[in-house]
Structure 1
Amino acid sequence: MEKVIYLLGRPDDTQGEVWGRALRTELAEKLRKLGVHGARLNLDDADVAAARALRQQRLATQPQALLQVWIDSANDPLRAPLDAVIARYGVRQAAYLVTESVPLRNARHPPRPGERTTGFAQIALLQRPPRLDADAWRLHWQTVQTPVAIETQSTFEYVQNTVVRALMPDAPPLDAIVEECFPQEAMTDPQTFFDAPGDEAGFQRNLARMMDSVSRFLDLPIDCVPTSQYVLI
């Protein structure tokens, strides 16, 4: 089984609420008919509007939705029907074959298919700086940054997707795609985000530790998009 992540933009002539509903219902049903083993949608919608201060941007254009699917094969001919269906629901489409690692599974707020997961999911699109080779970059990300992120933030789910290759010629160059889930309060409260509610000293310690680790393997800003998470299948 292989995992593919699609980045999607909303068509200009479609309202956000209408588009989101179509992705959650119409597209989900089409994915079931195609035999997709699993599908998760991350949607930049009104439910995460309060988290706008958390957004960071590096790419010229950020996705407004991210679709994660698990399929038998990502080979081009076998994936073509899936690409065609998804293309009907978004513009600026890009796709990546990834390997998934789940350092922190969501046991606190288990998702229910078709429903919005509690809190919000922050999507980070990562690009390896030229100053680091691939092995050094991956080593810091997976052995140093992973425990730091979990220990210094109020994360209740942490998923790492290492990009194997882009599946479309115009896809922006990415090395990894990360999904981290946070409680609702973390949208507007930095102390809650950094797992130190009501504790200014603890907040500053966690923030400093996190930023020190991040600066060692990424060039800021990176692309961070707050989203609503929906498990479709």
Structure 2
Amino acid sequence: MEKVIYCLWHQDTVAADDFGAGLRQQLVPQLQALAALRGLRLAVVDSAVAAADDKRMQTSGPLPDALLSLWLDDAWRRPDPAVLVPELVARSCAWLVSEAEPIVNSTQPPGADARVPGFCQVALLQRPPRLDEQSWLGIWKGSHGQVAIDTQATFAYRQNLVVCALDDDAPLLHAIVEENFPDAAMTSKHAFYAAADDATLAAHEAAMMESCARFIDFDKIDVVPMSEYLFSAAAGP
């Protein structure tokens, strides 16, 4: 089984909320009907996460409007969302990734509409040229992950190491990170950094930024808050 992550961009004529609803109502059922599908997660930019808009970071072109994760028997036999729902998806790029899940969501199950509470902060990363792959992995996977866990209010955390791009026009990426935060973290730094007071907030924020600077160049990172939806492989939420 292989995990494929897609970045999706909507057609200019489709509004954000209509895009998310269309993906859930039209694309998801088509994907769930695939015999080779083993899992499906969809994250979309919509009005439910508008309060977190100040967390967006754009450095390398238009930010994606959705992040689609599929677990497939064979990544080279993947579906193409832009072909399945061309009226919604203007562009689709896919990567084969190796997923680690340092925090499994065990406290915030999806609702009847499949939406996971809170928001998912998606980060698209490039490895800085100053670091070779082994050094970069040693920092990100070896020590930074625990710093992120210790200093933030995440209830789910997925580290996706990019194995290779699956589309010729896919942007250069080395990692895709998915972190789930509670609703309060959209507007409260204290809630985001799991800090009960100003001193803890300052300490957690400083520790997180210092750790990030070790393996991220901040002019080579895109960050997008999204609503997350979790679906079964079979038809239905």
Q: TM-score range by the shorter chain?
A: over 0.9
Matched letter for residue 54 of structure 2: A
Kindly state the Cα deviation for residue 81 of structure 1 after the two structures are TM-superposed.
6.2
Matched letter for residue 214 of structure 1: C
Counterpart of 2:202 (choices 204, 207, 218) is: 204
Pick which of 120-129 and 105-114 moved more: 105-114
Residue by residue over 1:84-120, the C-alpha shift from the partner in whole angstroms, topping out at 9 and shown as x without a partner, is: 3265641221100001100000011123574211110
Contact kept, 8 Å, 2:82 with 2:89, in 1: the verdict is no
Question: SS where residue 135 of structure 2 aligns?
Answer: helix
- Label 1:88 to 1:169 Cα distance change in 2 as closer, same or farther (>3 A): farther
Question: SS where residue 37 of structure 1 aligns?
Answer: strand
Tell me, yes or no, if structure 1 residue 140 matches structure 2 residue 135. Answer: no
Kindly state the Cα deviation for residue 22 of structure 1 after the two structures are TM-superposed.
1.2
Aligned to 2:4: 4
Same amino acid, percent of matched pairs: 44
Question: SS where residue 220 of structure 1 aligns?
Answer: coil
Contact kept, 8 Å, 1:128 with 1:137, in 2: the verdict is yes
Kindly state the Cα deviation for residue 16 of structure 1 after the two structures are TM-superposed.
1.9
- Normalising by structure 1, we get a TM-score of 0.94
Aligned to 2:164: 165
Structure 2 counterparts to residues 21-36 of structure 1, below 5 A: 21-35=21-35, 36=37
- Normalising by structure 2, we get a TM-score of 0.93
Residue by residue over 1:117-159, the C-alpha shift from the partner in whole angstroms, topping out at 9 and shown as x without a partner, is: 1110000001000000011001100011100000000000000
Pick which of 175-184 and 56-65 moved more: 56-65
Aligned to 1:123: 122
Contact kept, 8 Å, 1:42 with 1:229, in 2: the verdict is yes
- Label 1:100 to 1:112 Cα distance change in 2 as closer, same or farther (>3 A): farther
Kindly state the Cα deviation for residue 15 of structure 1 after the two structures are TM-superposed.
2.0
CA–CA distance in 1 between the matches of 2:155 and 2:94?
Answer: 26
Structure 2 counterparts to residues 66-105 of structure 1, below 5 A: 66-75=67-76, 78-79=77-78, 84-85=83-84, 89-105=88-104
Contact kept, 8 Å, 2:80 with 2:92, in 1: the verdict is no
- The unaligned stretches of length 5 or more in structure 2 are 233-237
Structure 2 counterparts to residues 181-220 of structure 1, below 5 A: 181-197=180-196, 199-220=197-218
Matched letter for residue 136 of structure 1: S
Aligned to 1:152: 151
CA–CA distance in 2 between the matches of 1:190 and 1:82?
Answer: 36
Residue by residue over 1:179-233, the C-alpha shift from the partner in whole angstroms, topping out at 9 and shown as x without a partner, is: 0000100001111101103x00000000111011000100014211000000122
Matched letter for residue 72 of structure 1: D
